[in-house]
Structure 1
C-alpha cells in the first residue's frame, strides 16, 4: 500500500505538487491521470525518494522508501525506460540490480522470460528500441517479486501485442493482491486496465474514485433515438414531460432518460424506432471535462493569415521591426 498525506513539492515559487492525500490500495489497478505538468512524475519520484517533499509525507507499507532494506523486494518501479547504462546487456543490467538487493541470479532469467527478452538477454541496451527498453524496465520492476508495482507510461513504444500483454500483466498482478499504480496518457487503454482512478491537476487532487463512478460523475449520459415518425415521437415525449435535444445527425437525444421508458412510450403510441440506445461519455471525455480548467499548456489552430517571416514570397515591403528572416535553405552536395 502507498499512502500520501499532504504531500507537497515546491520549486521556488512553482508548486508542482500541492497537498496531495490519497491511498493506493492492494488488489486493484489504480490509474494515475492528469494533464501534462500536473505533477504525476514528481509525485512518483517522491514516492521512491528520488525527490524530497517540501511538505507532507509518503509511506510504502508504513515506511519511508529510505527505510526499506532491499527496496526492490518491496516496490518495483518503471519511471524512465531509457534510464539504463547503454553499454550493459539486458542480463547484466538486471544482474546488477539483483546483486544490490540480495535477489538470486535465477530471478534474472525468470523475468527476462516473463517480458519476452530472453532471446536478446546478451544484447547491449543501447541497441534496444523503445518497446524493448520498456520491457527491460518492466523486468527490473518485477525482479524483486514485490508487493507494490509502479509504472509511468508503461505502454509507450509497445506494439498492440505488447500493449495487450502489459494490460493483462497488471491485471493479473492486482488479482494476486498486489498494489499496482500506473500513470498513462492513453485514456482508451486506461479505461480497459484500471479499476480505480486518482486524477490530479496543477498538483492538486481532483478525483479519487472508482472508474465507473468517475465516468458517471463527469460525463453526460443520454438515450439516442432515431425514428421515421419524428413528429409523433416528439409530441409523445413532450406530453410525457421528457426534454429532447437535437443530435448532430438528425437523431434525438434524451438526457437522463431511460431507454426502457422511451421504448415503452414509443410502443404505446405506435411509433416505429430505428435506433434506441443508451450512451455515456468515454473516460477521455470525462477526463477532459474534469481537467479543462487545470490544463497548463494549450495548443491553438494556425492563424488564417501567417505572420511575418512565415512566407516571404507573398509579402512586399520590409518586415516589422524585430522580425528575423528565415534562413535560406542550405544545399549539401555529395
Structure 2
C-alpha cells in the first residue's frame, strides 16, 4: 500500500505539487491522471525517493522508501524505459539490479520470459527498439516479485499485442492482491484498465474516486429516443414531466430518467421507437471537463490560433524578418531563387553577385 499525506514540492517560486493526500490500495489498479505539468512525474519521483519533498510524507507499506532494505522486493517501478546502460545486454542489466537487491539469479530468466525478451537476452540494450526497451523496463519492475508496482506510461512504444499483454498483466497482478499504480495519457487505455482514479491538476488533488463515479460526476448522462411519431413522442414525454431536447438527427435527448422507464412510457402509449439508447460520456470527456481550468499548456491549430485573425502586434516589439515563400526552398543554400523578389532573398542575390565580381577581379 502507498500512503501519501500532505505531499508538497516547490522549485523556487514554482509550486509543482500542492499538499497531495491520497492512498493507493492493494487489489485494484489505480490510475494516475492529470494534464501536462500537473505534477504527476514529480509525485512519482518523490514516492521513490528520487526527489525530496518540501513538505509531507510518502510511506510504502508503512515505511519511507529509503528505509526499505532491498527496495526492488517491495516496489517495482517503470519511470523511464531508457534509464539503463546501453552497453549491457538485457540479461546483464537485470542481473546487476538483481545482485544489488539480493534477488536470485533465476528471477532474471523469469522476468525476461514474462516480458517476451528471452530471445534477445544477450543483445545490448542500446540496439533495442522503443517497445523492446519498454519491455525491459517492465522486466526490471517485476524482477523482485514486489507487492507494489508503479508504471509511468507503460504502453509507450508497444504494438497492439504488447498493449493487450501489459493490460492483462496489470489486471493479473491486481487480482493477486498487489498494489498497482499506473500513470498514462491514453484515456481509452486507462478506461479499459483502471478501477480507481486519482486526478491532479496544477499539483492539487482534483478527484480520488472509482472510475464509474468519476465519469458520472464529471459528464452528462442521458437517453436518446427516436420515433416516426416525433412530435407525439415529445408530447408524451412532456405530459410525464420529462423535458426532451431535440438532437440534430431528429432524436430526442432526455436527462434524469432511465431508459427502462422511458421505454415503458412509450409502450404504454403505443409509440413505435426506432431508438432507445442510454448515453454515457467517455473517460476522456469527463477528464477534459474536470481539468479544463487546470491545463497549463494550450496548443492552437495554427499561427493565428484556432480561429479569427492574428492578434494585433505589440508596437514595442521589434519587427519580424520576412519569411521565405512557402513554395520556395529556404535559406541561402537554396540558390538564387530562394525567397521572394524583395526582402532577404533580394539582398542575398545582390550580395552573391557582388562576391562573384570581387572574385573575378582577384583572378
Query: Same fold, TM exceeding 0.5?
Result: yes
Deviation at 1:80, TM superposition (A): 0.4
**Match of 1:127?**
127
Residue in structure 2 matched with residue 323 of structure 1 by the alignment? 320
252-261 vs 191-200, greater mean Cα deviation: 252-261
Structure 1 residue 278 corresponds to structure 2 residue 275: no
Give 1:321 shift.
4.5
Does structure 1 residue 189 correspond to structure 2 residue 186? Answer: no
Structure 2: distance between partners of 1:240 and 1:305? 45
Matched with 2:349 is: none
- Structure 1 runs not aligned, ≥5 long: 309-319
Give unmatched runs, 5+ long, in structure 2.
312-316, 325-329, 336-363
How do 1:112-261 residues align onto structure 2 when only pairs under 5 Å count? 112-261=112-261
259-268 vs 14-23, which moves further: 259-268
Q: CA deviation at 1:301?
A: 2.5
Q: How does 1:28-177 map to 2 (within 5 A)?
A: 28-177=28-177
In structure 2, relative to structure 1, the CA distance for the partners of 1:306 and 1:254 (3 Å cut) is closer
d(CA) in 2 for partners of 1:293, 1:307: 24
String of CA shifts for 1:62-116, please: whole Å, max 9, x gaps: 1111111110000000000111111111111101100110111111000000000
**Partner of 1:151: helix, strand, or coil?**
strand
Partner deviation per Cα, 1:100-159 (whole Å, 9 max, x = no partner): 101111110000000000001111111111111110000000000000000000001101
1:316 corresponding residue in structure 2: none
Number of the residue aligned with 1:23: 23
Count of residue pairs brought into register by the alignment: 321
Deviation at 1:268, TM superposition (A): 2.0
SS at structure 1 position matched to 2:292: helix
Whole-angstrom CA distance in 1 between matches of 2:132 and 2:180: 21
- CA distance in 2 between counterparts of 1:321 and 1:294 reads 33
More relative contact order in 1 or in 2 (CA 8 Å, sep 6+)?
1
CA distance in 2 between counterparts of 1:68 and 1:3 reads: 15
TM-aligned CA deviation for residue 50 of structure 1: 0.2
Residue aligned with 2:293, SS: helix
Q: CA deviation at 1:248?
A: 3.0
Q: TM-score, normalised by structure 2?
A: 0.86
* RMSD (CA atoms): 1.6
Task: Supply the distance in 2 between the matched residues of 1:7 and 1:265 (Cα, whole angstroms).
Answer: 52
- Deviations along 1:167-189, whole A, 9 cap, x unmatched? 00001001101000000001111
Distance 1:88 1:306 in 2: 54
Q: Normalising by structure 1, what TM-score? A: 0.93
Give the Cα–Cα distance (whole angstroms) in 2 for the partners of residues 194 and 131 of structure 1.
22
Greater alpha carbon shift after TM alignment, 320-329 vs 233-242: 320-329
Q: Does 1:295 align with 2:289?
A: no
C-alpha distance in structure 2 between counterparts of 1:253 and 1:92, whole Å: 60
The alpha-carbon distance between structure 1 residues 230 and 305, as it changes in their structure 2 partners (threshold 3 A), is closer
Cα distance, 1:250 vs structure 2: 2.0
CA distance in structure 2 between the partners assigned to 1:70 and 1:90 by the alignment: 21
Please state how far the C-alpha of 1:296 moved relative to its aligned partner: 0.6
After TM superposition, give the deviation of residue 240 of structure 1 in Å: 1.1
State the Cα distance separating 1:331 from its structure 2 match.
4.7
Name the larger-Rg structure: 2
Distance in 2 (CA, whole Å) between partners of 1:193 and 1:117 is 24
Displacement of 1:307 in angstroms is: 6.5
